[in-house]
Structure 1
Amino acid sequence: MSSSTQTRPEGIPAATIIIFRNGAADGPPEILMTIRSREMVFAGGMAVFPGGRVDPADFELGAMLGGELPPDEAAHQIAVVRETLEETGLVVGLKGEIDADKARASRRFLEETGELASVLDHFGWELDLDQITPFARWYPKNEKLSRVYDTRFYLANLGTGAVDIAADQSENTHLFWTTAQGALDAADRGEIKLIFPTRRNLERLALFEDFAAAKAQAEAIPVRTIVPRVDNSTGQPMLTILEDAGYPVTSELLESVTRG
């Protein structure tokens, strides 16, 4: 297949997280999605997973950690911890004395300081990146886009999910829980809009009956950079991705693709 596994230096490093919670009794798990502000340059008005670009402070903290994770990978995981707290108010990837009041206070503190390291110091918390599982990496290079992101996707699980969430009303205007299939159905009804990578990831997520199944597949399939390519061999231009990366749908008519 014509998808590259090379990392391209011009891609802006970004990270996003797919947060699970238990669904209804005997039902599939739910995942957290957000509607991006229409004012955002990238994916404005689209339904996406929480996340954003990796900041210099994330790289600095990642370089200080040591341990088994390469500093670059640690920085991306730190970014999703920070972005999740900033965009949703949820605390993931952290350990210590954490409750709803402290989560709200830490979000305000992060808004003031802009750095996760200061939050850890102030609240006496530690990173617990074992809560985060690498899932995918997408680099949808498109010369027509003003910004091109090299985005790593991660998984995390809240279990019951009985926690408070609130959109930041800056980058995001709405947060909602849905099953993966429910999001796809909502997009088909025109209720939400999905860019190409989000749709493909939702189709993959819809395969799983619970978080454990999603995590097991993520750990079994090595993460490779997916660079969508146009295939003209069938007479109709198709946007294609790797066929052996865990995705049940690996192509879509180019004319029907929604991009950021």
Structure 2
Amino acid sequence: MRGRVEDVLSGRVPPAVPRDAATVAVLRDHDRHGLQVFLLRRVSSMAFAPGAYVFPGGSVDPRDGDADLAWAGPPPAHWGAAFRADDGLARELVCAAVRETFEESLVLLAGPAPDTVVDDTHGADWEQDRQALLDRSLSLAGLLARRGLVLRSDLLRPWGHWITPAVEPKRYDTRFFVAAMPAGQRARDVSTESDHAVWARPDEAAERAMAGEWPMLPPTLATLAELAEFRTVADVLAASRTVVPYEPRAEIIDGDPYLVLPGAPDA
């Protein structure tokens, strides 16, 4: 790690270009436990963050920018303003958020009309659609069109923006969303990239991470700490957020490499 840090800081090795990505903290209100968030544990064989607890999400696919996709709710320009992105990238980020969440948990933020949402995504036909998304034989736009559904961007809220440190060989420029678990749907661990799924209170998940029980990347831990300040899903969705990018930096301190979290986000 020290050699990699020194090579990047000296300019001998150029930083990898980060890939645009989106992730969604899916939330629910539990009768006894209060506010909970859905987390997946990545399998130990993954090249990036093996064994880490994460929210559903992943990289933007080129077809996420399909302009023919049926869309309800705030337009791409709204998301572009929130995430400092042009309209094209903003559309891709929202579509990636919806697609990846469905691929990894079967939670689908879409409905037959602009004011409705799918109430059940289980069954062999839905699994076939999920597999088609994964092997790229079907796009999100194609899935929605075939089922007569509309993407519900109004079910999402912008929450955060984290960029993988420049010293990492695999980097992501990730926008974080939050969303309420749609009524009637049930989140499941269906991703081949994870081996365990759990609903947990944000404060409990953060405590387990700090205790070393649940490995977590800093963006996930920071997001959980923020969510722990709220009592209900409605409180989270009503929160006013100004999203600014965080990018931890690498430093050599007393001869050892460290990743340093920014004291304040870049303006």
Instruction: Specify the TM-score bucket, using the shorter chain as the normaliser.
Output: 0.7 to 0.9
CA gap of 1:102–1:12, structure 2 versus 1, over 3 A, is same
Q: Distance in 1 between matches of 2:45 and 2:103?
A: 18
1:95 to 111, 117, 133: 111
Q: Distance in 2 between matches of 1:42 and 1:62?
A: 33
Q: What's the secondary structure of 2:26's corresponding residue? A: strand
Q: Which residue in the other structure is 2:195 paired with?
A: 173
Check conservation: 2:46, 2:193, Cα contact below 8 A: yes
Q: Distance in 1 between matches of 2:16 and 2:242?
A: 21
Check conservation: 1:76, 1:152, Cα contact below 8 A: yes
Q: Which residue in the other structure is 1:256 paired with?
A: none
Q: Distance in 2 between matches of 1:9 and 1:133?
A: 29
Check conservation: 2:76, 2:91, Cα contact below 8 A: no
2:178 to 146, 155, 158: 155
Q: Which residue in the other structure is 2:44 paired with?
A: 38
Letter in 1 for 2:157: T
Residue by residue over 1:56-91, the C-alpha shift from the partner in whole angstroms, topping out at 9 and shown as x without a partner, is: 111234899694532211210111111111111111
Q: What's the secondary structure of 1:29's corresponding residue? A: strand
Give identity over the alignment, percent. Answer: 25
Cα shift at 1:11: 1.4
Cα shift at 1:114: 4.1
Q: Which residue in the other structure is 2:234 paired with?
A: 212
Check conservation: 1:14, 1:152, Cα contact below 8 A: yes
Letter in 2 for 1:147: K
Q: Distance in 2 between matches of 1:157 and 1:101?
A: 16
Q: Which residue in the other structure is 1:13 paired with?
A: 20
CA gap of 1:100–1:67, structure 2 versus 1, over 3 A, is closer
1:59 to 54, 58, 65: 65
Letter in 1 for 2:264: E
Q: Which residue in the other structure is 1:106 paired with?
A: 126
Residue by residue over 1:14-51, the C-alpha shift from the partner in whole angstroms, topping out at 9 and shown as x without a partner, is: 000001100234x4300000011112111111000000
TM-align CA RMSD: 3.1
Q: TM-score, normalised by structure 2?
A: 0.76
Check conservation: 1:61, 1:75, Cα contact below 8 A: no
CA gap of 1:210–1:242, structure 2 versus 1, over 3 A, is farther
Q: Distance in 1 between matches of 2:68 and 2:207?
A: 38
- Greater Cα shift, 43-52 or 236-245: 236-245
Cα shift at 1:228: 1.7
- Does residue 1:29 correspond to 2:39, yes or no? no
Residue by residue over 1:176-225, the C-alpha shift from the partner in whole angstroms, topping out at 9 and shown as x without a partner, is: 100111112222443311111111111111111112322333xx232111
CA gap of 1:136–1:169, structure 2 versus 1, over 3 A, is closer
Q: TM-score, normalised by structure 1?
A: 0.77
- In structure 2, stretches of 5+ residues that fail to align are 1-14, 78-86
Q: Which residue in the other structure is 1:193 paired with?
A: 215
Q: Which residue in the other structure is 1:254 paired with?
A: none
Residue by residue over 1:90-128, the C-alpha shift from the partner in whole angstroms, topping out at 9 and shown as x without a partner, is: 112x11173325676334213123411111111110111
- Does residue 1:129 correspond to 2:145, yes or no? no
1:221 to 235, 238, 241: 241
- Greater Cα shift, 187-196 or 95-104: 95-104
- In structure 1, stretches of 5+ residues that fail to align are 1-7, 246-260
Q: Which residue in the other structure is 2:169 paired with?
A: 146
